[in-house]
Amino acid sequence: MIFIDTSVVLAQILAEDMRPAHSLWSQPLIASWLLEYEVWTRLHARKLESSHGDATRQLIDGLALVELAPHVLARALEPFPLPVRTLDALHLASIHHLKIRDQKIRLASYDNRMNQVAEAMGIELLRLQA
């Protein structure tokens, strides 16, 4: 299973130069509910909801979303092996939740800082093709 980060979804939706291979989207993908809020906030900030809204809804509808349940939020309050930003802590806590339930999970992210913390936590990374 692949936990997909907001950076990957935005790269796909905004057709950035660095975006994942098309084959990624046919694999089982999971994300935190937080991703939906982050993506829509970025689209609204750029006033792209009209032009990119349908593609965004379709992409997000294809993801399994992890709730920010109390135990996930509690993990985000605990220390991480490296300094971490608040929203990254919530994503990483969601991955941790899946990992301790014996889910084989890999992180797909273009965020180098997030990748470093994930690796320090023993989370396998999916190496994205540009």
State the Cα–Cα distance between residues 3 and 66, nearest whole angstrom: 10
- Residues 66 and 31: beta-carbon distance below 8 Å: yes
In-domain check, residue 81: yes
| Global pTM value | 0.92
Indicate which CATH number applies to the domain containing 45.
3.40.50.1010
Query: Sign of the CA dihedral 15, 11, 128, 18?
Result: positive
Task: Give all strands (DSSP E) within 5-111, no chain letters.
Answer: 29-32, 64-66, 106-108
Average pLDDT, the chain: 94
pLDDT band, very low/low/confident/very high, at 10 (cuts 50, 70, 90)? very high
Q: What are phi and psi of 6, to 5 degrees?
A: -55, -35
Residue with tokens 């006033």, as numbered in its chain: 47
In-domain check, residue 130: no
In-domain check, residue 112: yes
Average pLDDT, integer, range 78-93: 96
> Residue 130: is its pLDDT beyond 70?
no
Q: What is the pLDDT of residue 91?
A: 97
Predicted confidence (pLDDT) per residue in 23-69, tens digit: 999 999 999 999 999 999 999 999 999 999 999 999 999 999 999 99
Three-class SS of residue 118? helix
Average pLDDT, integer, range 7-28: 91
> Residue 88: is its pLDDT beyond 70?
yes
Amino acid (one-letter) located at 93: A
In-domain check, residue 109: yes
Task: Give all strands (DSSP E) within the chain, no chain letters.
Answer: 2-4, 29-32, 64-66, 106-108, 124-125
Residue with tokens 């190496």, as numbered in its chain: 127
Total tally of structural domains belonging to the chain? 1
Q: What is the pLDDT of residue 18?
A: 86
- 27: containing domain: 2-125
